[in-house]
Amino acid sequence: MHQLPPNPLMRAELPSETKPSLGIIGHLAIDEIVHPILGVRSLPGGSAAAVATASVQTGVVTSIYSKVGKDFSSEWLSVLENLGIDISKVEISDKDESLKVKIIYDEKGNKELIECSDAVSSNLAIKILPRAEGIHICPIKPQEQMELVQRLKGHSDILSLNLSEYFIDDYKKEDFFAKLNWQYLDLVFANEKEAGTLTGLDKPEDMASIFHSEGVDLAVITLGSKGSLVYDGRNMHYMNANEVTVVDTTGCGDSYIGGFLGDYLISKDAKKAAGMGTYFASLTAQKKGSWAALVSDVGYRF
Domain count, the chain: 1
Instruction: Quote the pLDDT of residue 124.
Output: 61
Mean per-residue pLDDT of the chain? 84
Residue range 78-123, pLDDT digits in tens: 989 988 999 999 988 888 888 888 878 787 766 666 777 765 445 5
76 inside domain: yes
The residue range of the domain holding 183 is 21-27+46-93+130-284
Hey, what amino acid is at 112?
A: E
More confident residue, 272 or 5: 272
Residue range 11-26, pLDDT digits in tens: 334 445 578 999 999 9
209 inside domain: yes
Residue range 253-263, pLDDT digits in tens: 999 999 999 99
Q: How many CB atoms lie within 10 A of CB 42?
A: 12
d(CA 256, CA 278): 6
Whether the predicted pLDDT of 2 surpasses 60: no
122 inside domain: no
Pick from 126, 134, 128: which is nearest to 22 by CA? Answer: 134
Instruction: Quote the pLDDT of residue 97.
Output: 84
If you ran DSSP here, which 8-state letter would residue 166 be given?
Answer: G
Please report, for the domain that includes residue 180, its CATH number: 3.40.1190.20
Instruction: Quote the pLDDT of residue 166.
Output: 84
Residue range 166-187, pLDDT digits in tens: 888 999 888 999 999 999 999 9
d(CA 211, CA 221): 10
Tell me the three state secondary structure of residue 195: helix
Q: Residue 284 burial by CB count (10 A; 0-12/13-18/19+): exposed, middle or buried? A: buried
Residue range 46-58, pLDDT digits in tens: 899 999 999 999 9
Those residues whose C-beta lies under 8 Å from the C-beta of residue 225, and which sit 6 or more positions away, are: 241
d(CA 145, CA 161): 8
Question: What DSSP letter does each residue of 68-128 carry, written as one string?
Answer: EETTS-HHHHHHHHHTT-B-TTEEEESSSPPEEEEEEE-TTS-EEEEEE-GGGGS-----S
Strand partners for 211: none
Residue range 219-252, pLDDT digits in tens: 999 998 899 999 999 999 999 888 887 777 777 8
Share of the chain above pLDDT 70, in %: 85
265 inside domain: yes
If you ran DSSP here, which 8-state letter would residue 37 be given?
Answer: T
The sign one gets for the Cα dihedral 255, 258, 259, 260 is positive
Mean predicted confidence (pLDDT) in 27-39: 81
12 inside domain: no
Radius of gyration of the chain (CA): 18
Whole-prediction pTM? 0.86
